Amino acid sequence: MEIRSMHFVERVRQRLDDDELQRNLKRTRGRNAASRAAAVAAFPDFDAVRQRATEIRRSVLRDLDVWLERFEAKATERGATVLWARDGEHACELIADIAKRHGVRTVVKSKSMVSEEAGLNAALEAAGVRPVETDLGEYILQINDNEPPSHIIMPVIHKSKEQVSELFARVHGTPPKTDIEALTHEARAVLRPEFLGADMGLSGGNFLIAETGSVAIVTNEGNGRLCTTLPRVHVALTGIEKVIPTLEDLSTLLRILPRSATGQALTNYVSMLTGPKHAGDPDGPEHMYFVLVDGGRADLLGSEFEDMLRCIRCGACMNHCPVYQTVGGHAYGWVYPGPMGSVLTPLYQGLEKAKDLPHAATLCNQCGVVCPVSIPLPELMRRLREKQVECGLRPWSERLALRAWAWVAGRPKLYALASRVGVRYLRWLAGGRDRIQVMGLAPGWTAQRDFPAPAAQTFRELHAARQAAKRQGGAR
């Protein structure tokens, strides 16, 4: 997917001015957070499982190469083919090759954010293969002129049912309906023949299990199971960081992923797929491939950003982020929005292409608190800010202002003088009122709120005067 994060500020403005989007955001705001809170409250072991999940993900990253090789050996033993992709583009080439080899004309897809990273749909179309999204949200976006998802697990959270109704009526040529069940049935009627007729199914992968060579997929709609078992060929596309050692580890992670994501104790479907159909199996694909993408992940190993690779893509960070909840996912300009996206986008796409993202956060740490694998997201955003400073990516005016501030703050007498002058300047600006409404030095502040006028004297001045008075009083 082409990155547009460099236009973050304009994209934010557009989304704040989009009344319909703002109504949709308001309607869903806090809903996922409330579901998660209820699930956590009903699960007394949550903190212990969170710690265990964190440790599983942390330890696998320490020896990622070993676990990936073990996974490859097991998956191969079970008859699957494991392919390694340097990046998204390479993954698209590999998948187009697989499609060509097996004479594939139609691919049914279950949800895969890595396929969004890679821009797979466009690549398949260019190769003469028709991709069909079968996750309901992704399907809605695909028929809406390939609109990108705005959330990693609820791709169409930014739309209302009325918008979907209008879209379905237009694309399907059916009478408009706003009953959600009826809309779902309509999509199902369109998708059912696609499942039956497709030559290839493409899935993502929530986890890769090294000890069995399996991929685990967590879904609520059942489309993942159809995609991975009906067509002749199954391709599981995911990132190299998704491997975990054992089924026992999977059971730990499955206890925390749905609770963190949607507040469910368990999703409607958990599929474990291990190799192609074997002799005597009633169903399953004839060929199974894994396409495992690096795409910047290996570079994070051993770096100060390694913690980010623990991410299990639950979306809790964005569900709790005041910024995401205000501007929606599209403002972020690439595949991954919210706090996890503000860390991943600059790391995978280049610091200079997403300069705003690590700064567009209040560092309130709601995300860090709810992360099921304890990723210190605000800390990682702050480190990215440091990287920007180190690489000279901040505007000179900001650098100069910070230098000046640090220089003055290092000199107590000067700092006291600057505070005295500053307070008097602000009071002059206030002009006898208790607030300042236009402030030239920080127009951003007064664009949105007043600046309360400061007291006439600084604490330092008053305190010094009182200390002096006390000493005099004591001497008398």
Partner 1 sequence: MRPSIAFAAIRLLESAGYTVVVPDTQTCCGQPGYNAGDRAAARALARKLIAEFESFPHVVAPSGSCAGTVKVHYAELFADDPAWRARAEALAEKTFELTQFLVDVAGVSTVPGTFSGSVTYHDCCSGLRELGVKAQPRALMDSLPGVRRVEMRDCEECCGFGGLFSVKYPDISGAIVQRKCESIRGSGAYAVALGDLGCMMNIEGRLRRSGDELTEVIHIAELLAGPAGEGG
Residues that bind partner 1 (CB under 8 A): 9, 12-13, 16, 30, 322-323, 326-327, 356, 359-366, 368-369, 379, 382, 384-389, 394, 398, 402-403, 405-406, 409-410, 412, 415, 423, 435, 437, 442-445, 447-452, 454-455, 457-459, 462-463, 466, 469
- Closer residue to partner 1 (CB): 269 or 451: 451
- Closer residue to partner 1 (CB): 269 or 415: 415
Strand order in the sheet with 106-109: 81-85, 287-293, 233-239, 200-203, 106-109, 130-133
Closest distance of CB 369 from partner 1, Å: 6
Q: What share of the chain is helix, strand, coil (3-state, %, to 5)?
A: 55, 10, 35
Closest distance of CB 277 from partner 1, Å: 50
Ramachandran angles phi, psi of 436, nearest 5°: -115, 130
Closest distance of CB 473 from partner 1, Å: 9
- Closer residue to partner 1 (CB): 38 or 196: 38
Cα–Cα distance, 161 to 154 (Å, whole number)? 14
Whole-angstrom CA distances from 412 to 19, 173, 415, 418, 461 are 49, 73, 5, 10, 13
Closest distance of CB 299 from partner 1, Å: 20
Cα–Cα distance, 199 to 232 (Å, whole number)? 6
Closest distance of CB 282 from partner 1, Å: 51
Closest distance of CB 312 from partner 1, Å: 21
- Closer residue to partner 1 (CB): 184 or 437: 437
- Closer residue to partner 1 (CB): 278 or 466: 466
- Closer residue to partner 1 (CB): 27 or 161: 27
Element (H, E) at 270: strand 269-273
> Looking up tokens 């709601």, which residue turns up?
366
Cα–Cα distance, 229 to 378 (Å, whole number)? 41
Beta strands per DSSP E along 79-232 = 81-85, 106-109, 130-133, 200-203, 207-209, 214-219
Closest distance of CB 391 from partner 1, Å: 10
Strand order in the sheet with 269-273: 243-244, 207-209, 214-219, 269-273
- Closer residue to partner 1 (CB): 182 or 389: 389
Cα–Cα distance, 320 to 3 (Å, whole number)? 24
- Closer residue to partner 1 (CB): 143 or 373: 373
Closest distance of CB 386 from partner 1, Å: 4
